[in-house]
């Protein structure tokens, strides 16, 4: 189940709920996970709210495009390794975690990069979902694995390579 919470009404007009459900489900199916068994919460907010979150959780007092809070650490032990598979709860569901995405930063970045905001937001939701699944881009080979997977998943959804 994908729960979308809209803290900024611009996301409602944009259609974040439907886009988020589509992007998360496509990401999960692309990794052979059943979207019906997965729980993810997505907060659509503005720069002011994400600045507070970024400050509180990462010690960075600035806005960012997307943040994620994985339910469990699924990251690979070795650089470039495959993250661990998420374990289901006793009821069979898999709680992956939470994502927050900021309208102002997404709109600005899409304009600066000359791409449709819909494509940019789709990419960031895929990116955040992969973080929930243990993918990261801090180490070089991990970054290569994550970006390659993003490009593949976005291609399946008809979104051009964002890199």
Domain count, the chain: 1
Which residue has 């970054």 as its token pair? 143
Cα 122 to Cα 84, 150, 156: the distances in Å are 24, 10, 12
Which residue has 């304009």 as its token pair? 111
Mean pLDDT, range 92-116, rounded to an integer: 97
What's residue 91's pLDDT?
92
Binding-site positions for Zn(2+): 127, 131, 137
At 58, the pLDDT band (50, 70, 90 cuts) reads very high
Q: What is the CATH number of the domain that holds 23?
A: 3.40.390.30
pTM of the model: 0.95
Domain contains 162 = no
Range of the domain at 107: 2-156
Domain contains 144 = yes
Mean pLDDT, range 79-104, rounded to an integer: 95
Average pLDDT, the chain: 96
Whether the CA torsion 29, 80, 128, 84 is positive or negative: it is positive
Binding-site positions: 127, 131, 137
Q: Measure the CA–CA gap between 155 and 163, rounded to whole angstroms.
A: 12
What's residue 53's pLDDT?
98
Strands 2-6 and 38-45: parallel
Mean pLDDT, range 23-38, rounded to an integer: 96
Helical (H) or strand (E) element with 19: helix 16-30
């Amino acid at each position: 189940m994908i729960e979308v919470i809209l803290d900024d009404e611009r996301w409602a007009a944009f259609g974040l709920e439907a886009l988020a459900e589509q992007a998360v489900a496509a990401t999960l199916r692309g990794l052979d996970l059943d979207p019906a068994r997965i729980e993810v919460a997505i907060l659509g907010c503005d720069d002011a709210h994400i600045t507070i979150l970024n400050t509180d959780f990462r010690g960075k007092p600035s806005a960012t495009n997307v943040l994620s809070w994985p339910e469990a650490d699924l990251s690979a032990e070795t650089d470039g390794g495959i993250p661990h598979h998420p374990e289901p709860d006793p009821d069979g569901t898999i709680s992956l975690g939470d994502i927050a995405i900021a309208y102002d930063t997404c709109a600005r970045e899409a304009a600066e990069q000359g791409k449709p905001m819909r494509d940019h937001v789709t990419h960031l939701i895929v990116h955040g979902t992969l973080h929930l699944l243990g993918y990261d881009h801090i180490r070089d080979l991990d970054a290569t694995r994550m970006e390659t997977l993003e490009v593949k998943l976005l291609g399946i959804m008809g979104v051009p390579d964002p890199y």
